[in-house]
């Protein structure tokens, strides 16, 4: 089969790496890709959200399956464009992708399907939003309604911080149109977990779970990022909690979308808070997470491609994915200045030595090749150093051993990825 993956990050490199193992694959492309994807697939000079150009390429080159990595192409309607041309896309229609494109829409689906979630209100008037804040008090969560590249959520510890978020998002327009409407919700307390399901419109099957680290600094300090590392499986997610999340959150959402005539096909990412009252929905995303994808796929024993095709074809009921018993951890190596102003152009050496550590795989994110062939940083998150081992502690040690072999003067990483799970393990 001929497969096109959309995106340019570590998630897309991991997807291509896993798909390249399938005996069904004859050709892989990535749009636009990075220096790492170029070693597995043919990179294309097409942006991941240029849906018309992508659809035209798919038709011209006989693509059998398109796998979107990030949300932008899905919200822009890539699945609809491809469906009109008879090409499979493992991702939802633009209508169903509103689960990520609009926080208000997600909350409406949660209310309709009786999905447990934080109490909330939606606002397009800053004065009304501030009045609600004063009635509710802090801590409280401010969310931009639209897509904001991971920058649209503020967990405010004080009313002053919450009001500043309203000013930035709604009045200063720091997020553009994404912040014109806000969702303000109660601050849930518990452990946060990323749970993934593969969906075919009616059936949903578990596709793994992970915990990630959003803050840029050790001890969960500093600004939020796209994710500085992750590990899987998360010890806090028991089999009972996993089953409860699938039964009370994922499957009811799937049924609600089907009733609306917008069935969800593809990868559904449920951000959960494990509260005293059980799992509650924080948000839905409509694709794999990054860096969660980089720890999930190395643990997957089954061939990924037939499962993605079954999701497209409405045939997941008979699919039984198998997982390795190993633990996995990924540590993100970012460019100095990330997330505010990452420094580009720094040379990266030592990948061969780092990749020689047993159990280690290195997925490229913000990388490129200079004209002279040198590997250089070309983004905020530059590499995902992933390791698998029999225990999470052993995987963590292997990942940091590999990082120690890298030579990237402009790079940095957190030194405590996995601390939640390892704190009480001795």
Residue 106 lies in a domain: no
Residue 104 lies in a domain: no
Q: Which of 137, 166, 186 is the last residue of a domain?
A: 186
Same domain, 175 and 232: no
CATH of the domain at 290: 3.30.470.20
Question: From residue 416, how far is each of 74, 329, 332, 403 by CA, in Å?
Answer: 34, 11, 11, 13
Positions of E strands within 84-129: 88-89, 120-123
Which structural domain range is residue 383 located in? 328-422
Judge whether 249 and 116 are in contact, CB under 8 Å: yes
Q: Which of 318, 344, 373 is the last residue of a domain?
A: 318
In this structure, what is the dihedral angle of CA atoms 7, 9, 13, 14, given to the nearest 10 degrees?
-110
Tokens of 260: 């609306």
CATH of the domain at 7: 3.40.50.20
Judge whether 18 and 26 are in contact, CB under 8 Å: no
Same domain, 226 and 283: yes
In whole angstroms, what is the distance from residue 370 CA to residue 367 CA? Answer: 10
Residue-wise pLDDT tens digits, 68-84: 998 999 999 999 999 99
Judge whether 277 and 116 are in contact, CB under 8 Å: yes
Same domain, 24 and 37: yes
Phi, psi (deg, nearest 5) at residue 115: -85, 130
Judge whether 212 and 384 are in contact, CB under 8 Å: no
The pLDDT of residue 147 = 86
Same domain, 250 and 179: no
Phi, psi (deg, nearest 5) at residue 250: -70, -55
Same domain, 308 and 360: no
pTM of the predicted model as reported, rounded to 2 decimal places: 0.95
Instruction: Give the count of domains, the chain.
Output: 4
Judge whether 30 and 43 are in contact, CB under 8 Å: yes
Same domain, 340 and 312: no
Positions of the chain with pLDDT under 50: 426
Same domain, 251 and 279: yes
Residue 248: Cβ within 10 Å count: 18
């Amino acid at each position: 089969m001929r497969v096109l993956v959309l995106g340019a990050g570590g998630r897309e490199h991991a997807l291509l790496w896993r798909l390249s193992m399938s005996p069904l694959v004859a050709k892989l492309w990535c749009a636009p890709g990075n220096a790492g994807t170029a070693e597995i697939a043919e990179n294309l000079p097409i942006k991941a959200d240029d849906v018309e150009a992508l659809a035209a390429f798919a038709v011209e080159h006989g693509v059998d399956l398109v796998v979107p990595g990030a949300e932008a192409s899905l919200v822009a309607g890539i699945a609809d464009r491809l469906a009109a041309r008879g090409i499979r896309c493992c991702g939802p229609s633009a209508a169903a992708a509103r689960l990520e494109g609009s926080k208000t829409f997600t909350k409406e689906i949660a209310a309709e399907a009786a999905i447990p979630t934080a109490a909330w209100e939606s606002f397009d008037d800053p004065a009304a939003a501030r009045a609600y804040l004063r009635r509710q008090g802090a801590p409280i969560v401010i969310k931009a309604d639209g897509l904001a590249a991971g920058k649209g959520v503020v967990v405010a510890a004080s009313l002053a911080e919450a009001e500043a978020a309203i000013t930035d998002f709604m009045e200063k327009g720091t997020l553009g149109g994404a912040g014109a409407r806000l969702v303000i919700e109660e601050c849930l307390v518990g452990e946060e977990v990323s749970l993934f399901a593969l969906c075919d419109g009616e059936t949903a099957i578990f596709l793994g779970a992970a915990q990630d680290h959003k803050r840029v600094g050790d001890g969960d300090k500093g600004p939020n990022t796209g994710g500085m590392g992750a590990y899987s499986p998360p010890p806090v997610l028991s089999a009972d909690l996993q089953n409860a999340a699938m039964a009370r959150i994922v499957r009811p959402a799937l049924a609600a979308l089907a009733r609306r005539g917008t069935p969800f096909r593809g990868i559904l990412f449920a951000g959960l808070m494990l509260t005293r009252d059980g799992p509650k929905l924080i948000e839905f995303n409509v694709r794999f997470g990054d860096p969660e994808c980089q720890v999930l796929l190395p643990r997957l024993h089954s061939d990924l491609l037939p499962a993605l095709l079954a999701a497209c074809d409405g045939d997941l009921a008979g699919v039984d994915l198998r997982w390795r018993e190993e633990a996995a951890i990924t540590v993100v190596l970012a460019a100095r200045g990330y997330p505010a102003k990452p420094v580009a152009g720094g040379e990266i050496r030592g990948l061969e030595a780092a990749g020689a550590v047993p159990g280690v795989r290195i997925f490229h994110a913000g990388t490129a090749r200079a004209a002279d062939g040198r590997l250089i940083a070309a983004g905020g998150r530059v590499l995902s150093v992933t390791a698998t081992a029999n225990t999470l502690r052993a995987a963590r040690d292997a990942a940091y051993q590999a990082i120690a072999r890298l030579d990237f003067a402009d790079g940095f990483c957190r030194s405590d990825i996995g601390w939640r799970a390892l704190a009480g393990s001795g």
